Amino acid sequence: MQTQLRIAVQKSGRLSDDSIQLIRECGIKFYNGAGKLKTEATNFPAELLFLRDDDIPRYVEDGVADIGIIGENVFVETQSQADLVKRLGFSKCRLSLALPKAVDYQGVQQFDGMRIATSYPNLLNKYFAGKGIKADIHEISGSVEIAPSIGLADAVCDIVSSGSTLLSNGLKEVETIFESEAVMIARKELGPLKEAILKKLLFRIESVQKAKG
Cβ proximity to Mg ion: between 43 and 141 the closer is 141
Given Mg ion, Zn ion, ligand PRP, none, residue 176, with its beta carbon under 5 to 8 Å by kind, binds none
Given Mg ion, ligand PRP, Zn ion, none, residue 142, with its beta carbon under 5 to 8 Å by kind, binds ligand PRP
From the number of C-beta atoms within 10 Å of its C-beta (0-12, 13-18, 19+), residue 192 rates as exposed
The distance of closest approach from Cβ of residue 95 to ligand PRP in the complex, given in angstroms and rounded to an integer, is 9
Q: Which amino acid would we find at residue 109?
A: Q
Residue 16 sits in the site that holds ligand PRP (CB under 6 A): no
Given ligand PRP, Mg ion, Zn ion, none, residue 136, with its beta carbon under 5 to 8 Å by kind, binds Zn ion
The distance of closest approach from Cβ of residue 34 to Mg ion in the complex, given in angstroms and rounded to an integer, is 21
Q: In this structure, are residues 174 and 95 in contact, taking their beta carbons and an 8 Å threshold?
A: no
- Number of other CB atoms surrounding residue 143 within 10 Å: 13
Cβ proximity to Zn ion: between 40 and 136 the closer is 136
Residue 95 sits in the site that holds ligand PRP (CB under 6 A): no
Find the binder of ligand PRP among 161, 193, 203, 207 (CB under 6 A): 161
**Dist CA 152 CA 34 (whole Å):** 37
User: In the β-sheet with 93-100, what is the strand arrangement from edge to edge?
Assistant: 136-139, 115-118, 155-160, 93-100, 171-180
**Dist CA 143 CA 97 (whole Å):** 15
From the number of C-beta atoms within 10 Å of its C-beta (0-12, 13-18, 19+), residue 140 rates as middle
Find the binder of ligand PRP among 2, 79, 106, 162 (CB under 6 A): 162
The distance of closest approach from Cβ of residue 149 to Zn ion in the complex, given in angstroms and rounded to an integer, is 18
Q: Which residues bind ligand PRP (CB under 6 A)?
A: 13-14, 53, 142, 144, 158-165
